[in-house]
Amino acid sequence: MPPRRKRAEALPTAATTMKELKDTLWKAADKLRGSMDASQYKDVILGLVFLKYVSDAFDERRAVIAAELAADGIGEEQAGPLLEEVDEYRAAGVFWVPPRARWGYLAQHAKGRPAGDPEGQATIGELVDEAMVLIMGTNPALATTLPQIFNKENVDQRRLGELIDLFNSARFTGDGARKARDVLGEVYEYFLGKFAAAEGKRGGEFYTPPGVVRVLVEVLEPYRGRVYDPCCGSGGMFVQAEKFIERHGEDPQAISVYGQELNERTWRMAKMNLAVHGLTAQLGPRWGDTFARDVHPDVQMDFVMANPPFNIKDWARNAEDARWKFGVPPAGNANYAWIQHILSKLAPGGSAGVVMANGSMSSNSVGEGEIRAALVEVDLVSCMVALPTQLFRSTGIPVCVWFFAKSKAAGASGSVDRTGQVLFIDARNLGHMVTRAERELSDEDIARIAGTFHAWRGAPSASGASYEDVPGFCYSATLSEIKEAGYALAPGRYVGAPEVEDDGEPIEEKIERLTAELFAQFEESARLEQVVREQLGRVRG
């Protein structure tokens, strides 16, 4: 049966607020924390989150179809078979959920199927595992993706049943400020941050804050073409690229997504995350080490966005690898291996943004300085951005972003020829603290960074704004200037100090006034110290 024409929006339902949803899910995680470690209960919780989402989305679509059929005068008995038409769901971008995989069925059997049940005795873990298999079997995009870990010995079946009951209060559909897919995406981000901190891991499961990802996306503007991340984690770069395209009213289908991920669990998580966002991604047939085996060896990319694990000391190094065009990276640090792999993937006219530890901008150890000099001399470095500290939940290490371009000539990327120049942006003073340990970049901060770059390139998105050096923030340097600085690429070396606003007070008078105020404070401090000493003397006496 061909898909029916859409005649109505999803029926309104009570939507859980994001705070309530996070609180509910973290309580769920707490129920398993005592019986398994963080990596295990992460997989259980996120697997249930995904299962609840696909079931809620299915039920909502089912209600819409039922309303359409009723409006057509089709009775309940006739409507029954039509409500089970797979194409009615897939045509609306909804995953098909077989009857025994639907949340209502699982909730009904949250304590398992008892002995003597017509369908056979089963634990709730067996039923959830079966649901995962059924969903993968009927949705090719999810093949080999969903976890089947719910009936293992270390999963308390009583607690798992309680989780099923608890999840009944969480809904990923209905009216609200965010689409259901965005809600699920935020839930994933929330838990990735929580669990990454609990596990103490970086590597493949390292979580990139959305604000940092947006800096890459807003600068690169990946409207169309092949988008690649060689260490894609849970797929956050791709999700932000899709959101960027949607915000600008363009077609998300205009990009093709390619990625690779080393960690098996994170690879599966990325496939789930991208499937929920409607992105068809080429992540390879399985997880794997990008250095040992590139799963997209013959594909040239238009955009690369990456946040590789910083300063990896143990990596699959092959000194004869053809990717090391600018020098063999040292065995004790993979930073320049990531950079050269990314450059090897860029198509003519391609561009890239790579998050790196600050040390990459100036390190001269074991040949890194020579590699950096070669990158500058062939004019591949387009822009360097120093970011503020405390942006990452799991580490306080300061970071920067390297932007590369195969061509900086005037053309599709901008009307200004920047051949032989590099833009330096010092954004270390941007951002605001959201907790005592974590900083965020605001929309205005991100727009300032991206807007500066687009004005420098004369990009269409700059809307005619012209670029000017701003002391303390940005500077366009020539390759000869960079060479004079020993090929160090830290923006602070080039942007200088910000201009001090002239308040009209002569400098000699200001120094005299401030000195007098300082001595007055010293005298007051000495007076208060004497008062405290006298009071203590009375107490002791």
Query: Which is nearest to 459 in space by CA: 414, 423, 418, 417?
Result: 414
Phi, psi (degrees; rounded to nearest 5) at 55: -70, -40
How confident is the model at residue 1, as a pLDDT?
42
The residue behind tokens 């940005």 is: 474
Nearest Cα to Cα of residue 321 among 310, 313, 333, 329 = 329
Paired tokens of 541: 């006496």
Question: CA distances (Å), 125 to each of 25, 115, 122, 167, in order?
Answer: 18, 15, 8, 15
Beta-strand runs (E) in 201-359: 225-229, 255-259, 281-282, 301-306, 346-357
3-state SS string for 448-464: HHHHHHHHHHCCHHHCC
Written as tens digits, the pLDDT of the chain (541 aa) is 444 434 333 333 344 567 777 777 777 667 666 667 666 777 888 888 889 888 988 988 999 999 999 998 888 888 889 899 999 998 888 899 999 999 999 999 999 999 888 999 999 999 999 999 999 999 988 888 899 999 988 888 988 898 888 777 666 655 433 455 566 666 666 776 666 666 554 433 446 888 999 999 999 999 999 999 999 988 889 988 988 998 888 888 889 999 999 988 889 888 888 877 778 889 998 899 999 999 999 999 999 999 998 889 999 999 999 999 999 999 999 999 999 999 999 999 999 999 999 999 999 989 999 999 999 999 999 999 999 998 886 667 789 999 999 999 998 889 999 999 999 999 999 999 988 878 999 999 999 999 999 999 999 999 989 999 999 999 999 999 999 999 999 999 999 988 766 666 777 877 888 888 888 888 888 888 888 888 888 877 6
Contacts of 193 (CB under 8 A, 6+ apart): 207, 393, 394
Contact between 210 and 188 under an 8 Å Cβ cutoff? The reply is no
Question: Cβ(43)–Cβ(192) under 8 Å?
Answer: no
CA 219, chain centre distance (Å): 16
Give the pLDDT confidence score for residue 16 in this predicted structure: 56
What is the pLDDT, as a whole number, of residue 29?
A: 67
**Please, are residues 271 and 182 in contact by the beta-carbon 8 Å criterion?**
no
